[in-house]
Each structure stands twice: as C-alpha cells, then as structure tokens.
Amino acid sequence: MASTARLMAETPHKVLAVDVYNDKIKHLLEPSSLPWADRIQFHRINIKNDSRLEGLIKMADLTINLAAICTPADYNTRPLDTIYSNFIDALPVVKYCSENNKRLIHFSTCEVYGKTIGSFLPKDHPLRQDPAYFVLKEDDSPCIFGSIEKQRWSYACAKQLIERLIYAEGAENDLEFTIVRPFNWIGPRMDFIPGIDGPSEGVPRVLACFSNNLLRREPLKLVDGGESQRTFIYIKDAIEAVLLMIENPARANGHIFNVGNPNNEVTVRQLAEMMTEVYSKVSGEPSLEVPTVDISSKEFYGEGYDDSDKRIPDMTIINKQLGWDPKTSLWDLLESTLTYQHRTYAEAVKQAISKPLASS
C-alpha cells in the first residue's frame, strides 16, 4: 500500500490496484481532485476466481503480486487456505504473465529459508556464532523445514514451490521475473489492530500484536520466551528497494533479492522491551509494572507450531545489482511507527475498551 503511494506521488506510472478490499488505499482513491486521480484504478476482485484477472495483466507492463495469506497465526489453523493462497491461487498470475510476455515481480518470504544450519548444533557450540551457519544467502543457503506434522511450515513450503515454478518459467519460457524475499517489513499501515481496523478475532504479526497490547495497556505476550531472533526493516527503506526493481528491469530480472536490514537484529523479547520503552516516550504513558508475560507456542498458536531460530539476510546480491542498502535504525523506525499507531488508534482503542459488554 505504501509502495502504491510512492508510485503515485513520485513517478508517472499508472496503477491498476487489485484486491478484495481497498481500506488501506482509500486515501489514494478519494477525493477525485487528487493530482493522480487519472493514474490509479481500483478493481475489487479475488484473484483466485475472477475471469477479469488475465485482462488486467494484459493491460499492464508489469505485475507485482503481493496477494497471500501471510500471518503466522493462520498457518496452523488454516493450512489449506495458506497453501492454496500462496501456491494454487498464484499460479494463474504467473501463467498469464508468462503467456502474455509481461514482467513479474513476485513477493515471496524470508520464511522459505526455514531453519538455519546452526539451529541443529548444540546451543553452546562455537559454530553457532559462525555467519556461515546462520546468514541467509539467496543462491547458497539450504531451505530447511520442520516435519510434515508441523503445519506452521505450510506457508514456507507453498512460497518455495511457487518460487521454483517462477524460476522454471524463466528458464523454459523466458518469463521476465524478480522474486522478493522480505525480512520483516514494519511501519504504518503494514498490519491491522484487532477490532479497530481489522477483525476482532484476528491475530496480526508481531509488531501489530505488540502495538495492540501497548494501546490496551496489556502485557506483551512472548511466545516461548521470545527467544527467536529477527531483523526488522522500515517500510520506507524497503519501498526504495522495490522502486529500484521497478525502474531497473535489466538489473533486476532473473534475480531473487533479500530485502531486510541485518543491522536491526534483536530477539523478540528485546523487541518487546524496546517497543515498551518507545511507546512510553511517544504516548507519555508510564510502562506497566509487568510489561511482558511468557506464553507457550501451543497456547498462542495451537498444535503444529514450529519456528526458525534466527533470520539474518545476506545483502550482497541486491547491493551489487541495485546499489541498495537499508538506512533506518530499529529505534528510529519503532519511534516513527509507534507515534503513528498512538496518534491513529489510541482514542479508538479507549472507546472500544470503555464500551459495556453486550448482555448474554
């Protein structure tokens, strides 16, 4: 959504936006007096069952496919939907681009890497500290998933298979493609606050989960102690990379790009501590006496959950091909994002909390 805003504001491109809802881009579609009103069209369709999809792809020079179920809470509870969304439903997009000689930028995930080699070593093994055992390289790192009964990997497997199909289309049918592997992009409008701008029963990704807890003055829930390590990148930095892919097809075609910030690595527990401190600063509210609570993955996600220990992207290929590096520190991106979350949602959350429960 943020990339659409940048395309409208800073380029002459026309955009055909396709989704099942337009909530996140309403500000770009209304009012009609906006200077780019004639350069953006919204089409409310579901790509998995709408015959208009091929016609829209034929009209465009480039298709950017971001459609997916990509929330960890869904991988266990909706594994079939997850697999269909990320593989079966993506097949027509790839097919139409290939058959009509249209360029494709496909959004995959850092989850295709699965577990690191180092995660199979004893916890105190010195090789765990060797980058060769945990830094993830597009053209070198193995993709290691958990057992079949761990349905959490349904997402990663579907994403890897569609990557392989796209790569095969390039090899056999000359499809011009770029594959993007995002590493935890965060920022305003990247996710939903349950019951405010998204379903009340939904469980968003980690930043929005923690934001929701902070807005409601509830302890942040740390799954299995919050020991998993992640890197986080500001959405504005990530969009710079995507714009470079759009504008430089000769340097982007045929490549898989990690898009993340290896300098912003923390454990999930450290992220919770930082967010608690930053939110107290931007909201003026004191932190809770008990800011975090531990919860098991089984209790939070249900049966079949598994996780990767560490995700550090190697940035060699994108730096070489596009000259891109991320800029924003974790503290700065959290301060910017939580300022937006507080300004946008704090009052709505207070009103939602103060409403009396309906009598049963």
The residues annotated with a catalytic role in the active site are 155
Whether 208 contacts 224, CB under 8 Å? no
Indicate the length of the chain as a whole number.
360
* 104/94 Cα distance (integer angstroms): 8
Maximum Cα–Cα distance across the chain: 62
* 207/187 Cα distance (integer angstroms): 9
Report the 10 Å Cβ neighbour count for 218. 12
Strand, helix or coil for residue 94? helix
Residue from 181, 217, 197, 243 nearest 345 by CA: 197
**Pairs from 208-216 (Cβ < 8 Å, separation ≥ 24):** 210/271, 210/272, 210/275, 211/275, 211/279, 211/337, 211/338, 211/341, 211/345, 212/349, 214/275, 214/276, 214/279, 214/283, 214/338, 214/341, 215/341, 215/342, 215/345, 215/346, 215/349, 216/349, 216/353
CA Rg value for the chain: 21
**Tokens (6 digits) for 304:** 């079949």
> Angle at which helices 79-86 and 154-173 pack, to 10 degrees?
20
